[in-house]
Amino acid sequence: MTRVFVYGTLKRGGENHHYLAYQQFLGAARTTAGYTLFSLGDYPGMVRAAADTAGVTGELWAVDAACLQQLDLLEGVNEGLYERGSIKLAAPSDEQPVETYLYLGSITGRKAIGSAWDV
């Protein structure tokens, strides 16, 4: 099982949550400082942001290999839209890194939305 931090449409109540339907919800979570969200229209993109002090809120899930492969397809990893990488979560989460999806496209002209995406 791989622990994955989700922050947008994959969260409970989000339009893509069905991808996580048979996986294990581990709880609410927040990244460490240094990340922020931008609106990409119908979904958010999380990017590294050195000036950020709040981090991004979301959910932590334990997913199997088949689900992780589906998430990579959904997030356009092979097309270079997002990259899956390891990040650390803020306390009280443990110190082990988790996987998440970071947006690789341009944020020029995109609306900064801060630490939370409402579903």
Pairing of strands 2-6, 24-30: unpaired
Q: Is residue 30 within 8 Å of 57, Cβ to Cβ?
A: yes
* 99 part of the active site: no
Catalytic residue among 59, 75, 83, 99: 75
φ, ψ for residue 43 (rounded to 5)? -155, 160
Query: Which distant-in-sequence residues (6+ apart) come within 8 Å of 11 by Cβ?
Result: 17, 58, 59, 117, 119
Question: Which residues are catalytic, by number?
Answer: 75
